[in-house]
């Protein structure tokens, strides 16, 4: 089982990202916003966007890394076929905080399966 984010699991073009915000739905909690839209494939794709307001590039990149890692750790439990845009707001958030924020948003929007799928 491959747990890292592959090329197919990343949203890369501006057009794809804009579509998520234009036609998708959003959910917000303190520190994070989740936008998602159906993509018509069997693969969930992700982009993490840090907002302006982070102190410097180090904080901005850390925020992106924590968002990606939080998604990667629960990607087997996420309903397939959606594009996700995670918007991370500045703050003193650790991995556990970002993970909890993401789980809260995904469960609120009913995007989590009850049990992880078995993969070979």
pTM of the complete model: 0.88
- Cα distances (angstroms) measured from residue 24 to each of 8, 68, 84: 20, 20, 9
**Which pLDDT does position 57 carry in this prediction?**
95
**Which pLDDT does position 3 carry in this prediction?**
64
pLDDT at 34 over 60: yes
Burial of 50 (0-12, 13-18, 19+ CB in 10 A): buried
In 28-109, which ranges are continuous DSSP H helix? 57-74, 95-108
Each residue's pLDDT tens digit, 36-76:
999 988 899 999 999 999 999 999 999 999 999 999 999 88
Each residue's pLDDT tens digit, 71-86:
999 988 999 999 999 9
Dist. CA 7–CA 99, nearest whole Å = 22
**Which pLDDT does position 4 carry in this prediction?**
73
**Which pLDDT does position 120 carry in this prediction?**
41
Domain locations in the chain? 18-108
Mention the CATH class of domain 18-108.
Answer: alpha beta
- Site of tokens 């794809």: 16
């Amino acid at each position: 089982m491959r747990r890292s984010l592959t090329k197919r699991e990343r949203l890369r073009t501006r057009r794809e990202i804009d579509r998520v915000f234009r036609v998708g739905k959003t959910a917000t909690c303190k520190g994070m916003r989740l936008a998602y839209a159906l993509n018509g494939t069997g693969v969930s794709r992700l982009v993490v966007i840090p907002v302006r307001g982070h102190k410097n590039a180090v904080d901005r990149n850390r925020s992106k890394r924590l968002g990606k890692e939080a998604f990667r750790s629960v990607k087997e439990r996420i309903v397939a076929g959606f594009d996700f845009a995670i918007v991370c707001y500045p703050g003193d958030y650790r991995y556990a905080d970002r993970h909890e924020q993401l789980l809260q948003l995904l469960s609120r929007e009913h995007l989590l399966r009850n049990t992880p799928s078995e993969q070979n």
